[in-house]
A and B are shown apart, each in its own frame.
Chain A
Amino acid sequence: MSQSKRNNIIFYSILALVVILSISGTAFAIYKHKENVDKNGVTNTPKEDVKPFLTFKEVSKSDTIDIFKKYPINPIEINFTKGKVKISGLKDKEIENKVNEKLSVLTVEESEFGNNCHINTNVSNVLSISCAIETVNVNLKTGEEITIEELFNKDSDIYSFIVKSSYNSTCMWGICSPEDNDSEYDNNIENTIAENLQKIKNNDYILSVNTKNAVLTYESKEDEFSGIYLEYYDFFNDITIYDRYLDNSIYEKDITNYCEPNNCADKIYELLEKDNNGYADAGHFINDKTYVNFRINNQNNIDPDYNYISKEITELNLKDYINLLEKEILKKEKLDTEGNNYAYIYINADIYYHTANDYQVYYQINKKEYKKEDFIKYHLGFNEAKEINTKTINAVNMLIDKNKKISYLSDNPTKDIPNFETKLYEYIMQELKKAGNDFAGYDTCYFSEDENCEEKRDYHNLIKEASFAIDKVNNKLHMYEEKPGMYEPISFVSARISLDVFNDTPLNVIKKINEEEALSLFDKKGLHILYFDSVPCEPCRNLEVELDSLVKTMNINIYNTSLNSSNTFDKLYSKLDIKTIFEEKEATYGELLKNSKLSPTVVVIKDGKMVDGFIGFKEAEDITKIIEKYK
């Protein structure tokens, strides 16, 4: 074949190939296009004129809620008199009249418990007051009523928020479980939400603007009301109600009080209520990322063993103590938060007399860490926000004196008590046999599926885990242990144990005891003398002198309990079953003490039983003869 011929063949082959490829390529492209159209094409559909079921007015753009910011509490007077609600304190009297006219729909009803009205919000120039079901929400800047749209922002998807909130509110009480196979609930949920949306469409609801949520209340059945709760924590990037009307110039008085969104509700009422009982709930940010809530608990507790100093402390200005204690505790416990986490620190404290001059502070710290978004939600009231870490600390050894100087008891106060662990363990074992004892809550088996859980509990571990402190005033050992659980602790022990438990050797002084301790003498081995006195009682004072001398020379335990105390001693009297004759009548010592409160009365207890006794003054020599019989 000639070169020229060969070239022609090659040329025309290439040309033919190009033509074939082009045609094939085109055909393939057409096929692919058709396939896509086939799958995706929506044809022959008239353009839908989509009219949403609910429409919302457009609002102007505004800043959104900042939980770290302090917002001003409106410095206005709110009066509930003559059946009406009225405010005063705005500079612009025309607007003030406008607001009062709007408030005039509310009817105030008085009762022995107060009136039927509630201030939902009074912050950031927003005012919302409810009396029974009726509610008025106004902004104090223009006097206009607040609408749902104004809670949110310009581009907020309000429709979705309402649908979502409606669902959450319907399912609030846990009736919408995924495991629930009851179709009634599934269909009823959708119908309930449909009804809610219809009510909103018909404007058939009452809006209530609160500090952490807004509620749409509507009548679900005759005289029955339900609410859709728009929780701010669900939409915190869209809530503008705290910032929308901010303007400090509209008031006659200066703004002096501020609050953060999480505590505005409390702060508003704190300012209104004159009889503040004095204990401060000082929740605040201590830095950008840490919120501390410090609470002193022992306000109204009544414990016959202890003199609570709450009353005294309120007179001494509780707030100073709280600030000081909070600072000290945070310094000591080093509660820094790692990295980008945010933290909530709860501190609960109880304060007791330690000696006449100082107070002992128990505190429990609960620290929870969150990522920023979850922290914001938690701060706005979402209790199920996801925690990253939690930490619990219990401490019982801090002291503060009347000059507010802080010191610490030994971290290991029991180290000088001989055979401490052995004796404590024996004591615990004895106590566990009694109903209602202090140690039954250790590693509680309430949540355990192990049948042998209770048997497996090791109280040696409890002794290792617990915190201890010595209470000199009352001669007691304080013991504290806790393991927090989700809703309640999975282990909780708080006990006050007489230090006598750790003593084998007799005391060299007459020991003052209470009824419980007196009763415990009937559980012990050995010889014990118990005498009852009262005030005034001169023979008692004289007898004391005699007994005092005996306690040292005879090396015996002598205890004293006062008939002036608030105890009834009934259980104790039943143990004093030896009969005697007094004023020609026969009765047991117990009966005589119960009926006549004779003092001084002395009883001798040996190995848990009363064996002898006497009433009235006796000299040391005579007392010795009685006691010698049983030694």
Chain B
Amino acid sequence: MKKKVIISIIVLLILAPSCFFAYKHFTKEEPKVPDKKPQEELPVTEDLKGKFANSKLRVDASLATQPLMNAYAKYFGDEDFLNEVKENYTNTHPGYVKLINGETDLIVVTEPSAEELALAKEKNVELEVTKVVNEGFVFYANAKNPVDNLKLENVIDIYSGKINNWDEVGGNKSRIIPYQRPINSGSQTGMLSLVMKGVPLREPTTTELVATMGGIIDAVANYDNNIDGLGYSYYYYANIMYRTPNIKFLGINGVKPTYETIENETYPLMTAYYIVTRKDASKKTLEFKEALLSNEGAKVAREAGYVPIKKK
């Protein structure tokens, strides 16, 4: 009997710590990346401010880049230039057409489509396409939702109707309410081209089809005591309109959308906006383009809520 007791004690003394240390070893968190020092801002001069006020430059923008172009026009031009610019906005495609036909000098838009490139070729026009700001496509949920991160394939499965409950992705036992935007809206187009990529979106219920941003805020931010909403938008809009204590942005594949991850393009759902000119653009146009790409331009873009590309 005594022998058995001793054996039992020995086994326990070996087993318990072994299990404990084994657990600790295999569940050790990966070493954290040391916090980056905040990027030291180079002092930015105001040499270019107002320089293009009387330039009579003609510009255009996409709907999504209008606020950016407004900020550029106000800073590098003046109020009159800004008013002139606002009067003449069309949109992405008409902007490209005008540029190709020589009816406008510089546009800040999304990447040219195959159709637009073909049109340029047809008219023997060479386009210069230069990235100016990065843009991310973000997903957000109620701040109280225990889920912080989604794999991209989870997102696709949720929005195609394969995954329906939060506990399938590590959350509570409740149904996901995946809010959608109207067809042809900017955010919906982004959802289709950047995320779903051919996988059909599930048919939204009336509740899930939230037309406008105001509705989404109320829906996702728990104003109705419901923390199961999931929404999406471009980082620019999300950054300036959805930063409330009740809403958080979700990580995708482990990376949260922040200024830095969008700037350094580690965030997985990326797009960008471009300055597009004709190769035979005027000197003034090229100077304007340089101004937008300068440190001053980057500061203007940042103040306006965008993420300018990182200068190498």
B305 touches A53 (CB 8 A): yes
Interface check A164, CB cutoff 8 A:
yes
Q: A45-B255, A183-B184 are in contact. Are A159 and B243 (CB under 8 A)?
A: yes
Contact A48 B260 (CB under 8 A): yes
B211, CB-defined interface residue at 8 Å: yes
Bound CA–CA A178/B213 (angstroms)? 11
Knowing A29-B23, A48-B259, A198-B71, the reply to whether A164 touches B15 (Cβ < 8 A) is no
B254 near A18 with CB under 8 A, answer no
B241 in complex: contacting residue of A26, A34, A194, CB < 8 Å: A194
Q: Which of B5-56 contact A (CB under 8 A)?
A: 7-8, 11, 15-16, 19, 22-23, 26-27, 29-30, 33, 35-36, 38
CA distance A305 to B159 in the complex (A): 71
Query: What 1/0 flags go to B251-264 for Cβ under 8 Å of A?
Result: 10011101111000
Instruction: Mark out the residues of chain A between 474 and 499 whose CB falls within 8 Å of any chain B CB in the assembled complex.
Output: none
Contact of B30 with A43 in the complex, beta carbons under 8 Å: yes
Interface of chain B residues 47 through 85 with chain A (CB within 8 A) = 63-64, 66-67, 70-71, 83
Per-residue CB contact flags for chain B residues 154-191 toward chain A (1 = under 8 Å, else 0) read 00000000000000011000000000011111110000
Q: Which residues from chain A contact B147 at a C-beta distance below 8 Å?
A: 39-40
Give residues of chain A (193-217) contacting chain B, Cβ–Cβ below 8 Å. Answer: 193-195, 197-198, 201
Q: Does A76 contact B (CB under 8 A)?
A: no
A53 and B170 alpha carbons, distance in the complex (Å): 31
In A153-198, which residues have CB < 8 Å from any B CB? Answer: 157, 159-160, 163-164, 167-168, 171, 176-184, 186-191, 193-195, 197-198
**Pair B241/A45 contact, Cβ less than 8 Å:** no
User: Which among B7, B15, B212 is the interface contact of A176 at CB below 8 angstroms?
Assistant: B212
Q: With an 8 A cutoff between CB atoms, is B104 at the interface?
A: no
Decide yes or no whether A41 CB sits under 8 A from chain B. yes
Q: When the two chains form the complex, which single residue of B23, B149, B186 contacts A187, counting CB atoms closer than 8 Å?
A: B186
Is the CB–CB distance between B11 and A19 below 8 Å? yes
In the assembled complex, which residues on chain A have CB atoms less than 8 Å from the CB atom of B198?
Answer: none
Q: When A26-B23, A176-B212 are in contact, do A41 and B15 touch as well, CB less than 8 Å?
A: no
Instruction: Check if A582 is an interface residue, CB within 8 A of chain B.
Output: no
B8 touches A44 (CB 8 A): no
Give, as a whole number of angstroms, the nearest-CB distance from A52 to chain B.
5
Q: How far is the CB of B284 from chain A (nearest CB, A)?
A: 24
What is the size category of the interface that chain B forms with chain A?
A: 35 or more
- B282 at interface, CB cutoff 8 A: no
Chain B nearest Cβ from A26, distance in angstroms: 4
B67 to A, closest residue via Cβ: A194
Q: Are B63 and A191 in contact (CB under 8 A)?
A: yes
Given A26-B19, A45-B255, A190-B237, answer yes or no on A178-B211 (Cβ-Cβ < 8 Å). Answer: yes
Interface presence of A277 (CB below 8 A): no
Flag if A43 contacts B211 (CB, 8 Å): no
CB-based A-B contact count at 8 angstroms? 173
Q: Which of B27, B185, B236, B259 contacts A183 (CB 8 A)?
A: B185
Interface contact A181-B182, CB-CB below 8 Å: yes
Point out the residues of chain B lying under 8 angstroms from A304, CB to CB.
none
- Distance from B44 Cβ to chain A, minimum over Cβ atoms (Å): 16
Expressed in whole angstroms, the Cα–Cα distance for A591 and B176 within the complex equals 85
Q: A47-B35, A177-B211 are in contact. Are A42 and B256 (CB under 8 A)?
A: yes
Q: Which residues of the other chain, B, contact A186 by a CB distance below 8 angstroms?
A: 181-182, 185-187, 211-212
B209 at the A interface (CB under 8 A): yes
* A357 CB within 8 Å of chain B: no
**Which chain A residues border B146 with CB–CB below 8 Å?**
40
> CB of B113 within 8 A of chain A?
no
Decide: A190 near B214, CB < 8 A? Known: A36-B170, A181-B182: no
Contacts of A48 in B (CB 8 A): 256, 258-260
Mark contacts of A515-536 with chain B using CB atoms, 8 A cut-off: 1 yes-contact digit, 0 otherwise.
0000000000000000000000
CB proximity of B301 to chain A, nearest CB, Å: 12
Q: Does B118 have its Cβ within 8 Å of any Cβ on chain A? A: no
Verify A30–B8 contact, CB threshold 8 A.
no
Shortest Cβ distance from A168 into B: residue:
B214
- Given the known inter-chain contacts A19-B11, A26-B23, A34-B27, please indicate yes or no for A171 contacting B183, CB distance below 8 A: no
Alpha-carbon distance between A556 and B22 when the two chains are bound, in angstroms: 121
Q: How far is the CA of A334 from the CA of B215 in the complex (A)?
A: 42
Q: Which of A25, A44, A167, A177 contacts B19 (CB 8 A)?
A: A25
Our pick among A41, A167, A201, A221 for the contact of B86 (Cβ within 8 Å) is A221
* Complex alpha-carbon distance, A265 and B287, angstroms: 55
Residues of chain A contacted by B182 (CB below 8 angstroms): 178, 180-181, 183, 186
> B239 contacts the other chain (Cβ, under 8 Å)?
yes
Rounded to whole Å, the gap between the CB of B308 and the closest CB of chain A is 15
Neighbouring B residues of A29 by C-beta, 8 Å: 23
**Does A22 lie at the interface of the complex (its beta carbon under 8 Å from any beta carbon of B)?**
yes
Contact of B22 among A26, A195, A201 (CB under 8 A): A26
CA distance A162 to B239 in the complex (A): 15
A44 touches B185 (CB 8 A): no
Given A178-B211, A187-B185, answer yes or no on A39-B33 (Cβ-Cβ < 8 Å): no
- Out of B29, B241, B261, which one reaches A193, CB within 8 Å? B241
For A31, the closest partner residue in chain B by CB is B26
Contact between A23 and B19, CB atoms less than 8 A apart: yes
Chain A residues with CB under 8 Å of B185's CB are 183, 186-187
State whether B214 touches A43 (Cβ < 8 A).
Answer: no
Contact (Cβ within 8 A) A188 B240: no
B27 touches A193 (CB 8 A): no
**A221 vs B149: C-alpha distance when bound (angstroms):** 42
Q: Does B101 sit at the interface, judged by CB under 8 A? A: no
Cβ contact within 8 Å between A53 and B240: yes
A159 and B185 alpha carbons, distance in the complex (Å): 25
List chain B residues, Cβ under 8 A from A42. 148-149, 251, 254-256
Bound CA–CA A528/B223 (angstroms): 75
Known: A15-B8, A41-B254. A198 touches B304 (CB 8 A): yes
In the assembled complex, which residues on chain B have CB atoms less than 8 Å from the CB atom of A53? 239-240, 243, 305
Q: Kindly supply a per-residue 1/0 record for chain A positions 220-237, scoring 1 wherever the CB is within 8 Å of any chain B CB and 0 otherwise.
A: 011000000000000000
Residues of A within 8 A of B64 (CB): 187, 191
Known: A30-B26, A39-B170. A46 touches B66 (CB 8 A): no
Interface pairs (17), CB distance under 8 Å? A22-B19, A30-B26, A40-B147, A42-B149, A42-B255, A45-B261, A54-B240, A157-B246, A159-B243, A163-B217, A176-B211, A176-B212, A176-B214, A178-B206, A183-B182, A183-B185, A186-B182
Q: A42-B148, A167-B217 are in contact. List 17 more A-B contacts (CB 8 A).
A: A15-B8, A15-B11, A22-B16, A26-B23, A39-B149, A44-B33, A44-B266, A45-B255, A45-B256, A53-B239, A176-B211, A178-B210, A180-B211, A181-B184, A186-B185, A194-B241, A221-B83
The 4 A-B pairs with the shortest beta carbon distances in the complex, nearest first, are: A167-B214, A39-B170, A48-B258, A183-B184
